[in-house]
Amino acid sequence: MMITRNRAGLKYYQFETLLFDELTQAVFSRLGGTSPSPWKSLNLGGTVGDDPDRVQNNEDKLLGAIGYSSRQLSQVHQVHSAKVEVVAEPNNKQPGLPQADAMITNKPGILLLMRYADCVPIFFYDPVKKAAGIAHAGWQGTVKEIAFVTVKEMEKHFGTNPSDLITGIGPSIGPDHYQVGIDVIDAVKKAFGDNWDRVLTPGPDDVKFNLWKANEISLRKAGVLDIETAGICTGCSVVEWFSHRRENGKNWKICCSYWAYLNNGYNELPRIESYQGTD
């Protein structure tokens, strides 16, 4: 079960199994930012019509909450691929960000930032080789098995043994809310073969796709043993999460997730049981 944190007015979550002194990890909710409706409120999307000053202010708030600076950020242009970027140094706001849907690093002090609205954030940490990664898996990244590819890239670049990896599958559109059409059904059956009936659930009126289970299957196939699934559905709580699907498919809602590797003691933050703010 993920642990809830409340700091500097922001609410975020941490994977219980990924609490290491040398590691900072967070999945931020949309609460506590500065943008008004419809971006309300911690919008980090720069191309969704929100005021750039507010977006910058949101980013500053988020960084402040976990004690980082924008100079430490590494980002990619997310394109629903299975491409993994090996990060050796921060690249924040440099022109021509690489196109990729996962980042991995074994360099301390780098913050890996990705943005989500319903897609699945997947966190990876190898406590033996001290290497970390984050992936973005919508249905496309899931059928391209970006979770599997990310593990393989960590093996290749950092010598990671998959059985040492601790992984987390974060908040995203859940199996109760994710209806899919024939294109997705076909792609899932092709990608998951005999396992398709573990991830697709036909109902009387529609078929639902379980992104959490699908990514878990990919991780297990790669040899990962330790997988924490948040079980939090973004479609069930649009107050707390940006949901591309629940909010009329308008693509102006961007949730975000930070994953970083640095010894700064943030795992010592007090635990809170519930969010007290107003939304």
Name the residues that contact Zn ion, by CB under 5 A: 174, 176-177, 233, 235-236
DSSP E strands in the chain: the ranges are 3-7, 10-14, 23-28, 73-74, 84-86, 102-105, 110-116, 120-126, 131-137, 166-169, 179-180, 200-202, 207-209, 226-229, 255-261
> What's the CA gap between 141 and 275, in Å, rounded?
32
Pick the closer one to Zn ion by CB: 90 or 174. 174
Q: How far is the CB of 234 from Zn ion (least distance, A)?
A: 8
> What's the CA gap between 212 and 225, in Å, rounded?
15
Q: How far is the CB of 239 from Zn ion (least distance, A)?
A: 13
φ/ψ of 252, rounded to 5, equals -110, 10
Pairing of strands 131-137, 120-126: antiparallel
Pick the closer one to Zn ion by CB: 187 or 236. 236
Radius of gyration of the chain (CA): 18
Q: How far is the CB of 1 from Zn ion (least distance, A)?
A: 17
Q: How far is the CB of 100 from Zn ion (least distance, A)?
A: 28
DSSP E strands in 153-262: the ranges are 166-169, 179-180, 200-202, 207-209, 226-229, 255-261
Cis amide bond preceding 38, omega within 30: yes
Q: How far is the CB of 85 from Zn ion (least distance, A)?
A: 31
Pick the closer one to Zn ion by CB: 166 or 233. 233
Pick the closer one to Zn ion by CB: 61 or 244. 244
> What's the CA gap between 257 and 109, in Å, rounded?
16
3-state helix, strand, coil in the chain (%, to 5): 25, 25, 45
Residue, CB closest to Zn ion: 233
Pick the closer one to Zn ion by CB: 170 or 174. 174
Strand order in the sheet with 200-202: 179-180, 207-209, 200-202
Pick the closer one to Zn ion by CB: 17 or 179. 179
Q: How far is the CB of 237 from Zn ion (least distance, A)?
A: 8
Pick the closer one to Zn ion by CB: 144 or 213. 213
Q: How far is the CB of 210 from Zn ion (least distance, A)?
A: 11
Pick the closer one to Zn ion by CB: 41 or 172. 172
> What's the CA gap between 100 and 83, in Å, rounded?
5
Q: How far is the CB of 209 from Zn ion (least distance, A)?
A: 13
